[in-house]
Amino acid sequence: MVAAAFAATVGIGVGIGVWASADDGRPARAARDDSAGAPRPAGATTDPPPGPTRSYPLSRAPRTIPAVRSHTPAHGPGWRPARGDRVVVADPALADEGRLIASELGLTYAGEKNDARPGDVRLALGGGRGANRESYTLTVRGGRVTITGPSDAGVFYGTRTLKQEVRGGGTAPEGVVRDEPAKPVRGLMLDIARKPFTAGWIEDRVRELGDLKFNELGLHFSDDQGFRIESSTHPEVVSANHLTKAQVRRIVALAASRHITVVPEIDSPGHLGAVLAAHPDLQLRSASGPAARGAVDISKGKAATVVDDLLKEYAGLFAPRAWHLGGDEYRPLTLSDPAATYPQLAAAARRKYGSGGTVADLTTGWLNDRARTVRAVGRTLRAWNDGFYRSSSVPPAKDLQVAYWTGKEIGARQPVEYLAAGRKVVNYNDEYLYYVLGQPQTFVYPTGQRIYEQWTPRVLRGSQAVPARYDGQILGGSLAVWCDLAGAQTQDQVAAGIRMPLRATIQKLWDPRRPGMTWAQFRGLADKVG
């Protein structure tokens, strides 16, 4: 019986257990796990099994979302929070993590302490050389909890596991959890340009993302329908309903406390309708006169000046990590002969790149120039896959990550083409990860079940996975909320609609292997742990 229990100590478990008394006389609960196991992360070691005990059965792995990747069982009561228990830290850099988990579990934050008391939760930095910086080890032993990781982010994720253990079953099971994400990019993107969301709603999503171990929040805040963040360089482009910079700073600070990077996006040279409403002289027009909706005329130097002004301004508002440049759906390049329809673009391309210069060259050059603007302030750069034009003789900047979302554009390329060229890719697959309000065109609301049962980070386009040899170039993925028909749902309906897709997405980004639970079990677990 003990051998069988030991063999099933990894993966997701079912939280039932035996009540007993801990060493200090307080009641505790040893959690159990009735699910199949999963292999531990590379490099992990197996602790020797504890000696036999008459008091407690062998513990079972905790039930969390995402599931922990490894749990070494032990005999013991586990740990459950009690009034008067302390959270202590071994390093002042972990004070924020310590205060947060103490407040969430009703414990006392005691700061830096070297003594050990029954019931303590201790947070510490530590880990082997080369360890995943987001990894952590959570040890429950002797009536105490110790969470260690090579960075404060890893320790934070350990506290999220502890929080879910307590919320779901009341007790953190005896033993050792060793855990780490499979992918370094785990995100949610919000289109706040077409539909303004309140600052409070966005902050609630930040808290939700943090508890689920996401680490990115994308804000697409400029489009044809609106420009939604206060601006000092170009106040004329800002929509009446917008976020103030003070509100954005609070969102960014809250996200940072949850180890989430807020990734801004000012899409260009298309999707700039809100900017063009204030600068109609920059509107792209065809030779016969009609305007190209949302598109700036990139043959005009002032267009670049306005966009660069905005990019530089917001660089100081967001954390210096990542930036999304957009680059998708520029109207001229949806035509079979853009030079004939927009001769001014063709002429500008020839002036810049010689007699063979094309509209695709000019557009790629625009993207590279914006990348140069943002690169100067130390950002990692990303652009939509349809901003990388096959017909261009001008190569996109080498450091541009590909945000792969679709294969429906003219001249669409399979994801393997980007990967074979050495590009790093973030998965936004519109077949599974696009939540488009009102379900226009062929879009349907994604379901958590489809993501959970069918999708992995290697499924970049449609439902087919790219070869495993490219897995290391796929940085991760992001669920995306697009508000094409903004009135189709309220913001509360959006929150409810993305609840299970978010949970399914993080499960597959944390561990892309086949989950150990059925969808019904996973959904039931989500109702328990949040």
Q: Which residues are catalytic?
A: 329
CA distance 530 to 522: 11
SS (H, E, C) 273-325: HHHHHHCHHHEEECCCCCEEEEEECCCCHHHHHHHHHHHHHHHCCCCCCEEEE
Q: Of the candidates 473, 467, 446, 529, which has an alpha carbon nearest to the alpha carbon of residue 164?
A: 529
Q: How many residues does the chain have?
A: 530
Please answer whether residues 482 and 435 qualify as being in contact, where contact means their C-beta atoms are separated by less than 8 angstroms: yes
CA distances from 314 to 248, 263, 317, 461, 483 (A): 10, 11, 5, 32, 23
CA distance 49 to 74: 7
DSSP 52: P
CA distance 219 to 205: 12
CA distance 74 to 47: 9
Bond before 467 cis per omega within 30 degrees: no
CA distance 299 to 347: 8
Neighbours of 65 (CB within 10 A): 25
Please answer whether residues 182 and 512 qualify as being in contact, where contact means their C-beta atoms are separated by less than 8 angstroms: yes
**What's the alpha-carbon Rg for the chain, to the nearest Å?**
25
The shares of helix, strand and coil residues in the chain, as percent rounded to the nearest 5, are 35, 20, 45
Angle at 182 between CA 181 and CA 188, to 5 degrees: 75
Which residues, in sequence order, are CB contacts of 490 under 8 Å at separation 6+?
A: none
CA distance 441 to 290: 24
Amino acid found at 86: R
Neighbours of 93 (CB within 10 A): 13
Q: Of the candidates 10, 42, 61, which has an alpha carbon nearest to the alpha carbon of residue 135?
A: 42
